[in-house]
Amino acid sequence: MSYELIALFMFASLMALLLTGQRVFGVIGAVAVLAALPLWGTGGVEIAFAQSIKLMKWYPLLTLPMFIFMGYMLSESRIADDLYKMFHVWFGPVPGGLAIGTIGLMVVISAMNGLSVAGMAIGSTIALPELLRRGYDKRMITGVIQGGSSLGILIPPSVVLVLYGMIARQPVSQLWLAGVFPGLLMAGLFILYIAVRCRIQPHLGPPLSAQEREAITWEERIRLLKAGILPFMIFFLMNGLFLMGVTSLVESSAVGALAALGAAVIKGRLTREVLENTVRKTLGISCMFMWIILAALCFGAVFDGLGAVKSIEGFFLDSLGLGPWEVLILMQLSFLIMGTFLDDTAMLVIVAPLYIPLVKALGFDLVWYGVLYTMTCQIAYLTPPFGYNLFLMRAMAPPDFRLKDIYLSVIPFVAIMLLTLMVVMIYPQLALWLPSQFQGKLQG
Amino acid sequence: MTLLAAYIGAVDHFNRRVGRFAMYLIFVLMGILLWSTISKYAGAPALWTLELAQFVMVGYYILGGPYSMQMGGHVRMDLLYADWSPHRKAAVDTLTVLFLIFYLGVLLYGGLSSTIYSLEFGERAHSVWRPYMWPIKMVTTFGILLMLLQAFAELFRDILFLRGVTITHPQEPGL
C-alpha cells in the first residue's frame, strides 16, 4: 500500500470513528497508533508517549489553563453584570441598541479571555433574558450572542492563536497583536449590521421607550461608567504589562488569572461555590484540550512520517497547477468545510501541520495566515453540524428557542465573518501593521 | 456483577480524589509564574520557574484527565450520538471504547519504557536547571494508568447498564 493511500485511509477511518460519538481524543489517538504500529513496529509504540514530552516543552501552552480559569472566573462570579448594565443604559435608546451593547460587552469579555465559552455563558445568562424581555427577535438574540462571543478567539488573548503559534512556530505575541484590528473590524461590522437591520425592521430590536429613557438620570449613567473600571484594570494588568515588556507572555496570563480572582474578591462575589465551579470547570476544559492535543500531535507525527506534506504540496502545485492565491483560497475553503465537521483543536493539530509548510513555501506571511485561520475557526464555531457555539447555545438557551432558530440566526453573522476574512486576505496590513510596531520588544 | 460494580466504585472514588487534588494545582501554577515575575525584578531571576511550571501543568492535566472523564468533560462529536437513546449510546460505547483503551494501553507501554530509560541512565533536561526527568515521567505514566482504569470503569458501567444495572458517576455539589 502506498503512503498516500495509508494517509487517506487514516483520515477516512478518523471521520468514520468520530461519527460513532466516542471521545474525540480517544478516536484520534487510536487511529494514530493503529497506523504507527504496522508502519514502524516497536519504534511506533514510543510515538504516542513521546508527544507528552513535546507538549510539556512547549511553554506558551501554560497560558491555556490560565485563560480558561480567567474566563470562568469572570462568568461564574458575574462581574460582567454591571458592565452589561452600562452598555444597556448607554445604547438602549437606539433601535437594536441592546444588541449593539451586547456586542460591545463581548468585545470587552474577549479582551479578557481566550475562548468563546465565557462569552457564551455571560451572553446567555445576562444578555439573553434582558433582550428577550425587551421584545427582541429570537434569531437576532442568539445570532448576536453566538457571533459576538466568537470574537473571544480573535481578539487577544486567544487560545486558538496560542495553539496555532505552536504548530507554525510563530511568536504568540505577534499573532495576538495581529488579531486586534481584524477583531475590531469584525465587531464594527456586526454593529453596523445590527444598526442598519434594526432601522429597517424596528420590530427586531425595539429601542427603550421614552418613559424608560426619562427614568435614567445622568448621574446614573456616569455612575455606571465606573463598572468599566474593573475590567479595564484586569485588561491593563494582563495586556498592558505584557506590551510594556514587564511580564512575559506566560507570566501575564497568570497575572490575568490572579487579577480576575482579585476582581471577584473586591466585588464580594467570591463564594465557595463560585470558586469550586470555576476551578472544576477549568480542569474539565483544560483536560479536554490537552488530551486532544496529545492525541492529535501523535496523529500529526504519523502523518508527517508518511510524507503527507509532500504529497499535498505536490497535489496542489503540480497536479492542479494552481497559482499561490488559488491554493490559499482552496486551503481556506477546505478548512471551512472541514471545520463544519471537525473539532477545531483537532483540525488545527492534524491539518495545519500539512498546510503551514505549504503556505510558507508559497511565500505568504505565517502571522497573517494565523489570523485567517482563526477567522475560519470562528466560522466553524457557528456552522452546523459541529459547531461549539451552536452546542453551547442549544444547551444554554431557554426551551422555546427552537434548534431551527439557533441555526438560522447565525447566517448573517457568518456572512459578515466571511466578508472580514476576505477583507483581511486582500489587505494583509490590517493584521500586520500592529505587530510590526512591536517587533522584537516583547518577551515571548 | 457485584465485582464489576465494586471495581467501578473503587476507581471512581480514587480518581475523583486524585482529580480534585490536581484541580487545585492551578493555584500552584499561578504562584510559580508570579514568582517568576517577582524574582526577575528582585534582581535574581529564578532559573527553575518555567520548567517547574511545565511539570506542574503536565501533572494537572494528566492526573485530572480521569476525573474530567467522569464529569463527561472529554468532548464527543455528537452529530448522531446526541439523538440516540441511552441504551444505544451504551451499546455503541462498549465497542468504541475499546479504541480508547487500546490508545491508552500504547501510551502506558511507551510511558513505562521511557520512565525505565530515564531511571537507568539518570536522564536530565537540557537546561540550566537540569532537573531529572524520571519524576515527571513517573507522574505521567501513573496518570495514564489511572486514565486506563477509568476507561475500563466506563466500559463496565455500560455493560452493567445494558444488563439493567445503573451506576451513576459521582455527583458534584451544585451540579
Partners of A23 in the β-ladder: B76
CB spacing of B22 vs A280 below 8 angstroms: no
pTM of the predicted model, to two decimals? 0.87
Question: Are residues A279 and A260 in contact, defined by beta-carbon separation less than 8 angstroms?
Answer: no
Q: What is the pLDDT of residues B43-58, one digit of tens each?
A: 777 888 889 999 999 9
Q: Which pLDDT belongs to residue B126?
A: 83
SS3 B124: strand
Phi/psi-derived region of residue A78, left when phi > 0, alpha when psi is between -120 and 50, beta in every other case: left
Q: What integer is the mean pLDDT of B114-135?
A: 90
Residues A46, A48, A54, A60, Cα dihedral to 10°: -170
In A, minimum Cα distance to B51 occurs at A57
List, as ranges, residues 61-100 from B with C-beta within 8 Å of A: 61-62, 64-65, 67-69, 71, 73-82, 84, 89, 92-93, 95-97, 99-100
B138 CB near a chain A CB, below 8 Å?
Answer: no
* Burial group, residue A31, by CB count within 10 angstroms (0-12, 13-18, 19+): buried
Beta-carbon-side half-sphere exposure of residue B41 (alpha carbons within 13 Å) = 9
Q: Which residues contact B151 (CB under 8 A, 6 or more apart)?
A: A26, B69, B97, B100, B101, B104
Burial label for A437, CB within 10 Å (0-12, 13-18, 19+), is: exposed
State how far the Cα of B99 lies from the Cα of B96, in Å rounded to an integer: 6
Element (H, E) at A380: helix A366-382
- Supply the pLDDT for residue B174: 43
Query: What does pLDDT average to over chain B?
Result: 91
For residue B110, the model assigns a pLDDT of 94
- B50–A66: do the CB atoms touch at under 8 Å? no
Alpha-carbon gap: B39 to the closest alpha carbon of chain A (Å): 11
Chunked mean pLDDT (size 10), chain A, 444 residues: 79 88 92 88 84 86 88 83 80 85 90 80 84 88 92 88 87 90 96 93 82 76 79 84 84 91 90 92 90 88 78 74 84 82 73 83 92 90 76 78 86 95 94 86 64
Section B123-127 average pLDDT: 86
C-alpha cell belonging to residue A381:
464555531
Instruction: Check B33 against A253: CB less than 8 A apart.
Output: yes
CB < 8 Å to B33, chain A: 62, 66, 250-251, 253-255
B76 forms beta bridges with A23
Q: What's residue B5's pLDDT? A: 94
The pLDDT-based confidence of B154 (bands split at 50, 70, 90) is very high
Q: Taking CB atoms and an 8 Å cutoff, what residues of chain A touch B135?
A: none
Question: Pick from A195, A190, A122: which is nearest to A154 by CA?
Answer: A190
Q: Which of B54, B95, B113 sits opposite A56 (nearest CB)?
A: B54
pLDDT digits (tens, 9 = 90+) for B58-74: 999 999 999 999 998 88
pLDDT in the model for residue A361: 84
Q: What is the C-alpha to C-alpha distance for residues B69 and B151, in angstroms, rounded to an integer?
A: 8
Q: CA-CA distance, A302 to A35, in Å (whole number)?
A: 8
| pLDDT beyond 70 at B173 | no
User: Rg of chain A over CA atoms, in angstroms?
Assistant: 22
Chain A residue with CA closest to B41: the answer is A246
Confidence bin at B175 (pLDDT 50/70/90): very low
B54 contacts A62 by C-beta, under 8 angstroms: yes
